[in-house]
Amino acid sequence: MTPPGTIPPTYCPNAVMFATIFAILILVLAGWAIAKNYDAKVVLFAAGFLLMYAALIMGSDVLTGKDASGLAWADPFKAVKDLFIKQYANAGLIILTLFGFAAYMSKIGANDKVIELLSRPLAAVKSPYILVPLVFWLGTLLSIIIPSAASLAVILMATLYPVLKAAKMTPLTAAGVIATTATIVPTPLGGDNVVAARVLGFDHVVDYVFYHHAVISIPVIIVMGIVHYFWQKHLDRTEGAIKAAVDESELRQVNADAPAWYAVFPVLPLGLTIFFWAFFKHAKVGLVEITLFSFALAFIAETIRRRDVKAAMKDVSTFFNGMGDGFSKVVVLIVAASTMVAGLKAMGLIDAISGLVTGVENAGAGLMLVFSGITALITFVSGSGNAVFYSFIELIPQIADKAGIDPIMVALPMQLTSNVIRAASPVAAVVIIVAAVVKVNPLMVVKRTCVPLLSGFAAVLLLSLIRYA
């Protein structure tokens, strides 16, 4: 038996060709299944196991040395177990804690207070089209504390729609802008940023976000807001009055009981993370500790405010339920994607791709365009960008290292693309939910979102080429 990704001496060229074709076929089928809205986690696990067992049959090891179980047929399952342990020890626990904290902030009404506070100045703006980029930028900022695009869209419709209606903004314009709010945001609290920073070898997620992500994403966010202004104004003028009205029964009820100062809690982890990064880099205080500290403060404040210890303790279950959502929605997806990568590595496909691009002029730009293009296509068809990003991110450093290129040039545009293109898909959850709120076909919402998002996609590629090529 030989290590994963190497060719045993007994291999013949036809066997190598078969292994490559089989691996590519599995990869294509997995992409097709995800695009057809099969459960991404199950698809990726299945693809990974098929590839690993195919590698065993063809003479390669899935695990070697101390990592191996001693029984080759059991190695794929041990590989998955090791991946779960690895994720819990790294990005997984951070993601679970952040999801739990976000759920608790919603439960006690703190998130609603942040939105109410930040939205208040918008009431002074009377022009519906000036409001368009302002609402987009505000929503992008709020996605720092509310990671779910669909949840954020519903909350914004509930809290901002009276302001937008008073300014005579059309329901379709409001829907189009709000559906695109949770695209890209340079925050160390983002699960995808946490994973990208770990995979790309950054000691602190803020380094990745501040020195790389923000340099590209902030100009892109500005571009998309400006394009939104002209595109929504153009469609309102050319389409005239299209029948659309907000169905208030679809809106989430806002928690009005919490005091205004609760708005501090949702942004506290972000503020403390930046503070420790700037002034106490030597301290081993990470996102988990900071988030748990913020959660403890919020719990104490909620207990004092309600004067009911038992009820306050009961609400803490929301934190742990939120952690469960983080596990099922993100951590399992990351492990599933890593399982498929392990299978591709065992079949030798990663080495084959690296060999093809080694020494090729402008290989980095080519890989960036290929991976970003594939990500955009699958995200558009499936309406989910996370599955694609988590599937490919583990591949990038290995391919880039062997090809002698900067992995950030490939990984960052792919990450941003997976978020930018999502709301351009008519089957994306955020589009379907917003379309239900305004009682229109999802394609009508997509018509409002596609041009600003495609402009953002083009800006991502252009700025990445300028900075990293």
Measured distance CA(57)–CA(51) in Å, rounded: 10
If one compares 384 and 437, the residue with the highest pLDDT of the two is: 437
- Render pLDDT for 225-256 as a digit per residue (tens, 0 to 9): 999 999 999 998 887 666 666 656 556 555 66
Tokens encoding 192: 């995808």
Q: For 61-75, 201-215, 307-321, which range has the lowest pLDDT when averaged over its residues?
A: 61-75
Question: Within 13 Å of residue 387, how many CA atoms lie on the same side as its CB?
Answer: 29
Does the pLDDT value for residue 176 go beyond 50?
Answer: yes
Tokens encoding 261: 């100062």
Closest CA to 242 of 449, 447, 425, 453: 447
- What's the confidence (pLDDT) of residue 11? 45
> How far is CA 401 from each of CA 265, 337, 405, 408, rounded to the nearest angstrom?
41, 20, 6, 11
198, 90 contact by CB (below 8 A): yes
Residue % of the chain over a pLDDT of 70: 90
- Render pLDDT for 374-396 as a digit per residue (tens, 0 to 9): 888 888 877 776 777 887 887 88
| 324 CA to centre of own chain | 17
Strand, coil or helix: what is 288?
helix
Measured distance CA(432)–CA(383) in Å, rounded: 10
Does the pLDDT value for residue 171 go beyond 70?
Answer: yes
Phi and psi at residue 310, to the nearest 5°:
-65, -45
> How far is CA 318 from each of CA 152, 264, 462, rounded to the nearest angstrom?
18, 19, 42
Does the pLDDT value for residue 139 go beyond 90?
Answer: no
What value does the mean pLDDT take over residues 286-313?
89
Q: What is the largest CA-CA distance in the chain?
A: 75
- What's the confidence (pLDDT) of residue 133? 93
> How far is CA 179 from each of CA 86, 134, 430, rounded to the nearest angstrom?
35, 14, 6
- What's the confidence (pLDDT) of residue 449? 93
Tokens encoding 86: 């690895």
307, 333 contact by CB (below 8 A): no
| Dihedral over Cα of 53, 55, 59, 60: its sign | negative
Question: For residue 285, what pLDDT band results from cuts at 50, 70 and 90?
Answer: confident
What value does the mean pLDDT take over residues 355-373?
74
Does the pLDDT value for residue 113 go beyond 60?
Answer: yes
Amino acid at 466: I
- What's the confidence (pLDDT) of residue 357? 60
Measured distance CA(435)–CA(256) in Å, rounded: 26
- What's the confidence (pLDDT) of residue 9? 41
- What's the confidence (pLDDT) of residue 134? 92
Q: For 28-32, 357-361, 441-445, which range has the lowest pLDDT when averaged over its residues?
A: 357-361
- What's the confidence (pLDDT) of residue 278? 81
